[in-house]
């Protein structure tokens, strides 16, 4: 088969070298960049960002990272938050670095061999608790993930932290599912997913999501993790709840400091935040007080009572313990709000929650 003369000419002719734009190689006079050295904790973002300012406002429409040279012909990729206050938390860098360093594996870091057979009522109660926690951990991962496309790369610290949180939540739903199945019980009944859980997913603003989920909902779950460790029957369960609580503390820390940053820099949003908390406190208090009727948490409540009471025979004692958990949840929630600078929430809190508060400290 003959080869076309035109093709022979094309492959045998040397092409002109492409024209290259090497302007990016030129030194940047406007910004003096110094070498970065690892600190006591390694090459953290605190070391990298030392001396650099995080802008209070950005016009972000592209994927340009902070400190990269802007290109006027860059394609727009979305519409992002433009104010630092909308997404910022002063501890985001620290929390991200901690999250990276304290990753754990449900496959290898939990002593599964320590899980021994339990009486049927206790095993079913533990499986029902794990079912509930698996369900809420899906929400805890889905809710912040919705906001990643709205956070500009200029505020990458928040983006990285949210990504680490999603990994945490994936590990949590992973480990609770495994505990439900490891002893032969399996997942039991789905919760009714009351309005309080739906509100988290329906948030229309990053701060709304963070106030409802990080400060409120995950704080309640943190109290449950501590309770779970206390009512566990073996070292594997204790390790699960202890490690999950360790992760959850980071999520609470981000939410509290984001709320504090908002209140310090944009105080006019104060009433707006009260409204967000009104929206979640009311439905959740209804879920709790109507747990035996049409609330969202009846099976969860009964599971805690059985576990805390040591079985069905001790359910009355378990009911007292459940109320102690509720009181602890509300008081820790109020403490987080005080740290954030929203202490007046005590007088505006849902009446049922307010009835569980300890007297204010002098």
pLDDT in tens, 227-267: 888 889 999 999 999 999 999 999 999 999 999 999 999 99
pLDDT at 72: 85
- Mapped onto helix, strand or coil, the DSSP state of residue 13 is coil
Alpha helices in 146-297 (DSSP H): 156-182, 195-201, 206-210, 218-230, 235-265, 270-289
Highest mean pLDDT among 65-79, 279-293, 335-349: 335-349
| Tokens 């943190």 -> residue | 222
**Is the full-model pTM beyond 0.85?**
yes
**Residue 159 reports pLDDT greater than 60:** yes
**What is the token pair recorded at 6?**
């035109």
pLDDT in tens, 21-80: 787 777 665 556 678 788 888 888 788 888 888 999 998 898 888 888 888 888 888 889
CA distance 186 to 134: 12
Mean pLDDT estimate for the chain: 88
CA distance 255 to 313: 40
Instruction: Give the rounded percent of residues in the chain with a pLDDT score beyond 70.
Output: 88
CA distance 260 to 256: 6
pLDDT in tens, 81-135: 999 999 999 999 999 999 999 999 999 999 999 999 999 999 999 999 999 999 9
* DSSP state letter for 212: I
**What is the token pair recorded at 201?**
């997913």
**What is the token pair recorded at 347?**
């007088």
What separation in angstroms does the CA of 77 have from each of 54, 55, 150? Answer: 22, 20, 11
CATH second-level architecture of 84-355? Orthogonal Bundle (1.10)
Output Rg (C-alpha) for the chain, integer angstroms: 26
**Residue 286 reports pLDDT greater than 60:** no
pLDDT-based confidence at residue 292 (cuts at 50, 70, 90): very low
């Amino acid at each position: 088969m003959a080869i076309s003369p035109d093709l022979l000419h094309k492959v045998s002719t040397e092409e002109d070298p492409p024209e290259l734009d090497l302007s990016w190689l030129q030194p940047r006079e406007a910004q003096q960049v110094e070498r970065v050295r690892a600190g006591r904790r390694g090459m953290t973002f605190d070391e990298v960002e030392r001396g650099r300012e995080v802008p209070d406002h950005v016009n972000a429409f592209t994927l340009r990272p902070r400190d990269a040279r802007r290109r006027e012909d860059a394609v727009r990729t979305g519409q992002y938050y433009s104010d630092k206050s909308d997404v910022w938390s002063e501890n985001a860098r620290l929390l991200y670095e901690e999250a990276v360093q304290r990753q754990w594996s449900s496959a290898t870091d939990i002593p599964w061999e320590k899980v021994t057979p339990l009486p049927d009522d206790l095993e079913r109660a533990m499986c029902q608790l794990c079912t509930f926690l698996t369900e809420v951990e899906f929400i805890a991962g889905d809710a912040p993930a919705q906001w990643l496309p709205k956070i500009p790369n200029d505020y990458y610290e928040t983006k990285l932290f949210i990504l680490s949180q999603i990994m945490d939540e994936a590990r949590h739903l992973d480990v609770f599912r495994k505990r439900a199945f490891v002893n032969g019980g399996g997942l039991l009944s789905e919760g009714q997913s009351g309005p309080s859980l739906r509100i988290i997913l329906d948030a229309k603003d990053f701060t709304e999501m963070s106030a409802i989920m990080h400060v409120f909902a995950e704080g309640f779950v943190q109290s449950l993790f501590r309770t779970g460790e206390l009512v566990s029957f073996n070292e594997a369960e204790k390790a699960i709840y202890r490690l999950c609580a360790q992760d959850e503390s980071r999520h609470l820390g981000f939410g509290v400091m984001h709320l504090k940053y908002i209140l310090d820099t944009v105080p006019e949003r104060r009433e707006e935040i009260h409204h967000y908390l009104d929206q979640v406190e009311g439905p959740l208090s209804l879920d709790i007080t109507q747990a035996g009727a049409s609330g969202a948490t009846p099976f969860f409540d009964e599971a805690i009572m059985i576990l805390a009471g040591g079985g069905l025979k001790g359910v009355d004692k378990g009911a007292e313990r459940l109320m102690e958990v509720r009181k602890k949840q509300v008081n820790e929630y109020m403490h987080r709000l005080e740290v954030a600078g929203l202490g007046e929430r005590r007088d505006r809190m849902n009446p049922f929650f307010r009835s569980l508060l300890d007297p204010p400290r002098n």
